């Protein structure tokens, strides 16, 4: 015997009304009359045997039972909307969609992207940045960069490079502050860091056998790219990842006051959902792998 399932049109009318807080607004969204929405909601209330709304002059207010029911069914409607939009969206074979951590995009990929574009002028590149893990089921993305200690299970992954921590700063910093001669001299400098990487300074200082400096006040930024820019502007010393400052070290825009480099055990991986990637994704994966081999 099948389990009971409420009338779908009535359920849809209830969800729209609960979300909009008004029969009128729900009717406009569903492109039906207010009377039709009201009848559908009444039908659902009769079917459930529960009052879902209290009608007021200001609109329709959910009862306690209605609020509980709405919270329960809302995720299902959201998932239907996501999957429907995803299915109806016609993919452009020449548009490559990338999702990257912000600092990886700003400090590593974008400065190198011209070479990819020069060899693949028929491919348009769209880049979004986020610290959130990729969800290929929900997001319209071809290739992402994952940061972590392990590849992502169930996805096509290729390790690009590992993380190596080192403190760096602008040489102009020492125009106004004494250059540190020993690790303990860090006490006299402003330490710059990212709020998304709170363990970088403590991990490096433990390796330097100076864990007490982890409590030193400094300047924190939303992401590492902002912290690196602060270091370039002479605000202090930033704990950096080697891959993101190599160009600046070579040019002299940044200098390394100490010779201690500490690996974190994490790495950056290029990941995609494809067993057989489309040409746009295949071209990008081949290109980015060539940069680190």
- Inform me whether the pLDDT recorded for 91 exceeds 70: no
Q: How far is 129 from 107, CA to CA, in rounded Å?
A: 12
The region that residue 175 occupies, defined by phi over 0 for left and psi between -120 and 50 for alpha, beta otherwise, is: alpha
Residues 64 and 116 in one domain: no
> How far from the centroid of its chain's Cα atoms is residue 103's Cα?
11
Tell me, yes or no, if the pTM score tops 0.85.
no
Residues 283 and 158 in one domain: yes
- Domain of residue 17 covers 8-88
Query: For residue 252, what is the domain's CATH number?
Result: 3.40.190.10
Last residue of a domain, one of 65, 88, 111: 88
Element (H, E) at 180: none
Q: Is residue 1 part of a domain?
A: no
Alpha-carbon torsion, ordered 164, 165, 166, 169, to 10 deg: 110
Residue range 53-63: mean pLDDT, rounded: 84
120 plus 156 within the same structural domain: yes
Segment 188-237, tens digit of pLDDT: 899 999 999 999 999 999 999 887 776 566 899 999 999 999 999 999 99
Strands 124-129 and 59-62: unpaired
Local structure of residue 286 (DSSP, 8 states): H
Same domain assignment for residues 79 and 41? yes
258: which 2 tokens?
Answer: 């100490």
284 and 151 within one domain = yes
CATH code of the domain in which 65 resides: 1.10.10.10
Say yes or no: 276 and 150 in one domain: yes
Three-class SS state of 39:
helix
Count of domains in the chain? Answer: 3
Domain shared by 243 and 169, yes or no? yes
- Domain co-membership, 125 together with 242: no
Q: Give the CA distances from residue 91 to residues 79, 82, 155, 271, 277, in Å, rounded to whole numbers and listed in that order.
A: 20, 15, 20, 19, 13
Q: Do 101 and 79 fall within a single domain?
A: no
> Which of 58-67, 172-181, 209-218 bottoms out in mean pLDDT, i.e. has the lowest?
209-218
CB count within 10 Å of CB 231 equals 26
Whether 240 is in a domain gets the answer yes
pLDDT of residue 206: 92
Q: Residue 41: left (phi > 0), alpha (psi -120 to 50), or beta?
A: alpha
Query: How much is the pLDDT for 44?
Result: 93
3, part of any domain: no
């Amino acid at each position: 015997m099948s389990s009971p399932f409420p009338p779908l049109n009535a359920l849809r009318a209830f969800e729209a009304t609960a979300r909009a807080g008004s029969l009128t607004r729900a009717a406009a969204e569903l492109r039906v009359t207010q009377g039709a929405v009201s009848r559908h909601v009444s039908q659902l209330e009769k079917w459930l045997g529960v009052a879902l709304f209290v009608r007021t002059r200001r609109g329709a207010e959910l009862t306690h039972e209605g609020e509980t029911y709405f919270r329960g069914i809302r995720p299902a409607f959201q998932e239907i909307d996501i999957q429907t939009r995803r299915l109806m969206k016609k993919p452009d074979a020449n548009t490559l969609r990338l999702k990257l951590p912000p600092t990886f995009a700003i400090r590593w990929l974008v400065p190198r992207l011209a070479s990819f574009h020069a060899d693949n002028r028929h491919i348009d590149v769209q880049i979004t940045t986020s610290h959130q893990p990729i969800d290929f089921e929900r997001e319209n993305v071809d290739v992402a960069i994952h940061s972590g200690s392990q590849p992502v299970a169930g996805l096509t992954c290729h390790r690009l490079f590992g993380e190596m921590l080192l403190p760096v700063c602008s040489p102009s910093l020492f125009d106004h502050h004494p250059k540190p001669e020993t690790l303990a001299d860090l006490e006299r400098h402003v330490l710059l860091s990212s709020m998304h990487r709170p363990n970088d300074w403590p991990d490096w200082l433990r390796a330097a056998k100076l864990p007490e400096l982890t409590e030193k006040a400094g300047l924190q930024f939303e992401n590492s790219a902002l912290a690196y820019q602060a270091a370039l502007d002479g605000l202090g010393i930033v704990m950096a990842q080697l891959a993101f400052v190599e160009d600046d070290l070579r040019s002299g825009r940044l200098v390394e006051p100490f010779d201690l480099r500490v690996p974190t055990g994490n790495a950056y991986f290029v990941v995609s959902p494809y067993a057989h990637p489309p040409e746009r994704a295949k071209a990008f994966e081949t290109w980015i792998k060539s940069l680190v081999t």
